[in-house]
Chain A
């Protein structure tokens, strides 16, 4: 009985990652330089935040084309409501709309990976050759993002939102693993709080549709519904918590950079390259049949058009019909 082999985590000993400045600036590395995650690659100055003020806004003290306001000072009024500057910046009228732009601030682009600079494009982009462990996502929105990985310890549904709230000051720009399953309100909150991406074991279709319609980075590891994240994936995520990672939605991958000396060590060191194998007793399989959809088990015995699978320490095995399972390596 030939069955496809799925490798949720795969080592990639040669991959390229591009690090880009939002606007042209100074690149401080050269081709063939060896870099580590916290090494500066370059920097630039640009306004990183903008507040577009609503119709009916009347500015306070704006007599020239543009005026500088300190954070906390009065910008103007909308009706009887006063609007204060949320940060230091300039107020100006642009195409009949008032906009308050933060003053240009220094933006530093870090390497994020252990790698070698392969090429530099103008004053904006650096291509790095590196090595990663890639976690395969079953479904993802076709968006690219990167950021520090924060791993929640598979909290219950009730706790997820409070975990997010507790990270209120630090969630912006981060890639969050939120647990086995995510509900719509949690993904909406993560979006509002400007998380860079959300990784989750499973989600209902409506959650995915929300992320897709808002162009928000969402990676689902196992599938739609309520499916546990495979232990091996969760352990891998936990072991690299707070590392800078890359979400590549168009390739269904979460790329986790690894140090030079970790290449060819660990779970994929002796992996086979066969994408299809005969299923045999004691192999690990992922079941895709209700009520065990997404569960990982071990093959007990193989019959003509089905297999019997044991889950965890349960001695009893259950029949799973071909083709409702995949071999997991």
Chain B
């Protein structure tokens, strides 16, 4: 029997259809139900039922012949009837063993033992994100997100401002265990934004404490869908890592760092990074490379890495300020991430 997993975020709907062991399809519908534009035609329940039926009928599957399991942000949706299993995003996060998930959408951030949410539709929340300092254009754009929650800015600085508001919600002393796989997921990373470099800038800004991290970027909401599937059926044979982008390694320490990179191809590379720098080494390998890191704060440590779509990201900034609050750092990040995609790794 086919199995359909659905995850309802605040700006997108993500589906996973599993027809048999090998036949798995991910689908993103980049819209959500909005009362402001659809309430005169249908309810949220009717809208999503139509979407699911339409998706299945185009694949010649009937909803009645399919097991449906659902998750939502934050709670499991109550507008889906007849689902075999329902669970909220917080349960999916708590049950994750391999990854530390950081779920982000346009106005919320959720991770292990942490939830922060605000709304542009709420006057008090608007004040808390500093709407008083914004011009009419920005305020109107943010307010329109309440009416059209799916919209994506086509402007780098406007999207940067939205991301800044999200990042600000995470306290500066927020700690994530280092030497862990961190997956950035949720509606924000699924959206068709103007520049994918912004995804990495946001990810980088959300990691506040020093350490070494393996970074993964989930642009199809694979994590919640696969985790939902695994919670429903513990024996299911599916690995999220096959569908999530491996971004690379983040080495974040306050102060200068010295590294020795041994790829077993050619000579070893010695890298010295001054303090207060952001530096990206494009690196994507089939066999793990060895990275020896020496820093005044950490001492010496050895780690193996395959790199990733971006490579190795070094962050030696000492100020602890947000990337968004320093235009030079922001532009430097955009440029370096952009260059890392272009280079042959």
B137 engages A134 (CB within 8 Å): no
Interface flag for B345 (CB, 8 Å): no
Binds B, one of A46-54, A79-87, A121-129, A319-327: A319-327
Q: How far is the CA of A205 from the CA of B155 in the complex (A)?
A: 21
Knowing A139-B147, A205-B139, A225-B137 touch, does A323 contact B37 (C-beta < 8 A)?
no
Q: Does A290 contact B (CB under 8 A)?
A: yes
**Contacts known (A6-B37, A276-B51, A326-B37); A209 close to B154, Cβ less than 8 A:** no
* Stretch among B41-49, B109-117, B258-266 lining the A interface: B41-49
Q: Which of A205, A293, A323 contacts B31 (CB 8 A)?
A: A323
Is the Cβ of A321 less than 8 Å from the Cβ of B143?
no
User: Once bound together, how far apart are the Cα atoms of A251 and B40, in whole Å?
Assistant: 8
Contact of A138 among B37, B42, B51, B137 (CB under 8 A): B37
* B36 in the interface (beta carbon within 8 A): yes
Known: A4-B37, A223-B148, A224-B147. Is A274-B50 also a contact (CB below 8 A)? Answer: yes
* Docked-complex contact A275 and B151, CB < 8 angstroms: no
Query: Are B50 and A275 closer than 8 Å at their CB atoms?
Result: yes
Determine the distance from Cα of A204 to Cα of B176 in the docked complex, in whole angstroms.
Answer: 40
> A280 to nearest B CB, angstroms?
15
Asked if A2 lies at the interface with its beta carbon under 8 angstroms from chain B, I say yes
Q: How far is the CB of A265 from chain B (nearest CB, A)?
A: 19
Inter-chain CA distance A256–B246, complex, in Å, is 56
Interface residues of B in 102-149 (CB under 8 A from A): 123, 136-137, 139-141, 143-144, 146-148
How far is it, in angstroms, between the C-alpha of A208 and the C-alpha of B140 when the chains are bound?
Answer: 11
Contact A290 B154 (CB under 8 A): yes
Indicate if B29 sits at the interface (CB-CB under 8 A): yes
Residues of A within 8 A of B139 (CB): 204-206, 224
For the complex, would chain B's binding face be called helix, strand, loop or mixed by DSSP majority? helix
Q: How many residues of A contact B (CB 8 A)?
A: 38
Give how many A-B residue pairs fall within 8 Å (CB-CB): 100
Contact with A along B19-47 (1 / 0, CB 8 A): 00000000001110001111111100011
Q: Is A10 an interface residue (CB 8 A)?
A: yes
Partner of A324, one of B42, B54, B140, B154: B154
Count B-side interface residues using an 8 Å CB cutoff.
35
Q: B152 near A: Cβ within 8 Å?
A: yes
**Inter-subunit contact B140/A224 (CB<8 Å):** yes
A299 at the interface (CB under 8 A from B): no
Given contacts A2-B29, A7-B40, A275-B47, contact A322 B192 (CB under 8 A): yes
Q: For A290, what are the chain B residues with a Cβ–Cβ distance below 8 Å?
A: 141, 154-155
Q: Tell me whether A322 and B30 are in contact (CB under 8 A).
A: yes
Are B140 and A139 in contact, CB atoms less than 8 angstroms apart? no
Q: CB of B305 within 8 A of chain A?
A: no
Is A285 positioned at the interface, with any CB of B under 8 Å from its CB?
no
- Given A275-B46, A288-B151, A324-B152, decide whether A204 and B54 contact each other with a Cβ distance below 8 A: no
- Asked if B227 CB lies within 8 Å of chain A CBs, one says no
Is A289 an interface position by the 8 A CB rule? Answer: yes
What residue of chain A has the Cβ atom nearest to residue B149's Cβ? A323
Minimum C-beta distance from A303 to chain B (A): 12
Q: Which of chain A's residues has its CB closest to B137's CB?
A: A225
Q: State the CA gap A252–B143 with chains docked (Å).
A: 16
* Residues B288-320 near A (CB distance < 8 A): none
B144 near A224: Cβ-Cβ < 8 Å: yes
Partner of B123, one of A137, A209, A322: A209
Residue of A nearest to B123 (CB): A209
A residues at B contact (CB < 8 Å): 2-7, 10, 134, 136-139, 204-206, 208-209, 212, 223-225, 251-253, 273-276, 288-290, 293, 305, 321-324, 326
Given A204-B139, A205-B140, A274-B50, 16 additional A-B pairs, CB 8 A: A3-B31, A4-B37, A4-B47, A5-B41, A136-B39, A223-B140, A224-B140, A225-B144, A251-B39, A275-B46, A276-B47, A276-B50, A276-B54, A321-B152, A323-B152, A326-B37
A sample of 15 inter-chain contacts (CB < 8 A) reads A2-B54, A137-B36, A139-B36, A223-B144, A224-B144, A224-B147, A225-B144, A276-B50, A276-B51, A288-B151, A293-B144, A321-B154, A323-B152, A323-B191, A324-B151
The 6 closest A-B pairs by CB, nearest first: A225-B140, A323-B30, A224-B140, A224-B143, A323-B150, A136-B40
